[in-house]
Amino acid sequence: MLTPNIDLRNKTVLITGAAGFIGSNLVMELIRTIEKIHIVGIDNMNDYYDVSIKEYRLAEIERVADKVVQSTWTFIKGNIADKELINRLFEENKFDVVVNLAAQAGVRYSITNPDVYIESNIIGFYNILEACRNYPVDHLVYASSSSVYGSNKKIPYSTDDKVDNPVSLYAATKKSNELMAHAYSKLYNIPSTGLRFFTVYGPAGRPDMAYFGFTNKLLKGETIEIFNYGNCKRDFTYVDDIVIGVKHVMQNAPERVMGDDGLPVPPYRVYNIGNNSPENLLDFVNILQEELVRAKVLPEDYDFESHKKLVPMQAGDVPITYADTYDLERDFGFKPSTSLREGLRKFSEWYKAFYMIK
């Protein structure tokens, strides 16, 4: 196991995408558990999905932050593609650690709205890298994605695998992030760690994710479409597990070492962060249904069979995502522990409360 080389106490941390699903939960975890941490969050609060969920997350952060007087939380509504804003934030705050979670998410949306992916995922990330170069940081942690594995046939996906076959623009932008981070690590000795997330779910998650969309449709009496005739498998990972993994990584920056050529050996790592236990989509749907009934989101006599439709695979999707998480376990002794049923139970209970379902 690695020995932590960054003490987050008394450090100033930038978290981009702070009103997002993973970002907001990470902010709350750090405020709860790290003494005297100073967090600046930025998010553009776009309307890719229901902004009220982002506002709810920010309100939850405020609720947590109000109880911890020795730490500080500052939120900036802004776009990481705004180079002037990013440079000003870095100059004013002298960040020790940066966690870049801001990105335009979603595979299918990238097919119909490519411009926003280039703006946020390429230009925005470039601005973060340039700022880390000009205002040096101890560690840059950034979100990649399991989508970089594209059409790879080998399962489980390993960080040693080639990732040269993206099947969506979203995947291509995430692969680009890894390449850009590697170049900046080599050129400017910036310790950076990329995290390939695998299907994150939980309360106050993204409504474009399958479990959330299914719930919305079932509640309206609409039919849910299960792709690849139900033969999809996903490495569903509960958000609390993801956040603990990110926190471990933040505290372990790759070491700066000089190579024989007199130049830095890139202080650069990439990890898969997933559950290492893929679930069949049909099983996932069945557990979700049971938990929605248990939480009284849906009535006990709901006719699920009449609201399910098995359909072919869609463009840009892959039949299975499955993470080899050996490196994460070896370096941090970390393995996600939340069962699918427990995670979906918490989501169902949150959904009932958030939408005030009687």
Out of 66-75, 229-238, 264-273, least confident range: 229-238
The pLDDT, as a whole number, for residue 155 is 83
Residue 207 lies in a domain: no
Beta strand 279-280 with 200-201 is unpaired
SS (H, E, C) 166-197: CCCHHHHHHHHHHHHHHHHHHHHCCCEEEEEE
Determine the pLDDT at residue 34.
Answer: 97
Query: Using CA atoms, how far apart are residues 120 and 177, in angstroms rounded to an integer?
Result: 11
Give percent above pLDDT 70 in the chain.
98
- Determine the average pLDDT of the residues in 201-206: 96
Strand-pair category, 97-100 with 139-145: parallel
Spatial distance between the Cα atoms of 350 and 90, rounded to a whole number of angstroms: 36
d(CA 144, CA 233): 20
- What's the confidence (pLDDT) of residue 315? 65
What is the model's pLDDT at position 225?
86
Task: Decide if pLDDT at 317 tops 70.
Answer: no
CB neighbours of residue 219 within 10 Å = 15
Q: Is 154 a residue whose pLDDT tops 90? A: no
Tell me the average pLDDT of the chain: 92
In a domain, 223, yes or no: no
Q: Is the pLDDT of residue 230 over 80?
A: no
pLDDT surpassing 80 at residue 36: yes
What is the token pair recorded at 308? 């399910």
Distance from C-alpha of 128 to C-alpha of 77, rounded to nearest angstrom:
16
Question: Looking at the DSSP assignment, which residues form a beta bridge with residue 77?
Answer: 43
Q: Quote the pLDDT of residue 300.
A: 92
Give the model's pLDDT for residue 160: 93
Q: Using the predicted structure, report yes or no on whether residue 229 has a pLDDT greater than 80.
A: no
Give the gyration radius of the chain's Cα atoms: 20
Q: Is residue 7 part of a domain?
A: no
Q: How many domains does the chain have?
A: 1
On the question of pLDDT at 316 being above 70, the answer is: no
Q: What mean pLDDT is predicted for residues 15-42? A: 98
Please report which helix (H) or strand (E) contains residue 40, including its range: strand 38-43
Confirm whether 105 is domain-assigned.
yes
Inter-residue contact 81 to 124 (CB < 8 Å): yes
For residues 192 and 12, give the distance between their C-alpha atoms in angstroms, rounded to a whole number.
17
Residue 122, domain CATH: 3.40.50.720
More confident residue, 206 or 229: 206
Q: What is the pLDDT of residues 170-196, one digit of tens each?
A: 999 999 999 999 999 999 999 999 999
DSSP letter at 150 equals T
So what's the pLDDT on residue 178? 97
Mean pLDDT of 260-265: 81
Span 262-279, average pLDDT: 88
Active site members:
170
User: Can you state the angle between helices 340-354 and 210-219, rounded to 10 degrees?
Assistant: 50
The yes-or-no verdict on residue 242 having pLDDT over 70 is: yes
Q: According to the model, what pLDDT value does residue 358 have?
A: 77
What backbone torsions phi and psi does residue 128 show, to the nearest 5 degrees? -65, -45
Cα–Cα dist 278/233, whole Å: 6
pLDDT at 318: 67
Question: Domain range spanning residue 63?
Answer: 12-199+239-276+323-337
151 falls within a domain: yes
Cβ 350 vs Cβ 340: under 8 Å: no
- Per-residue model confidence as pLDDT tens digits over 53-109: 999 999 999 999 999 999 999 999 999 999 999 999 999 999 999 999 999 887 778
> Considering all CA atoms of the chain, what is the largest pairwise distance in Å, rounded to the nearest integer?
70
- How far, in Å, CA of 78 to CA of 59, rounded? 17
Does residue 179 form part of some domain? Answer: yes
User: Between the ranges 118-132, 247-261, 304-318, where is the mean pLDDT highest?
Assistant: 118-132
In the structure, what pLDDT confidence band is assigned to residue 148 with cuts at 50, 70 and 90? very high
Q: pLDDT tens across 126-139, in order?
A: 999 999 999 999 99
Asked whether residue 30 is assigned to any structural domain, the reply reads yes
- Rounded Cα distance, 259 and 267, in Å: 11
With respect to residue 317, please indicate whether it lies within any of the assigned structural domains: no
- Beta-strand pair 72-77/38-43: parallel
Residue closest to 236 by CA, chosen among 251, 253, 214: 214
Strand partners, 310: 226
pLDDT at 134: 98
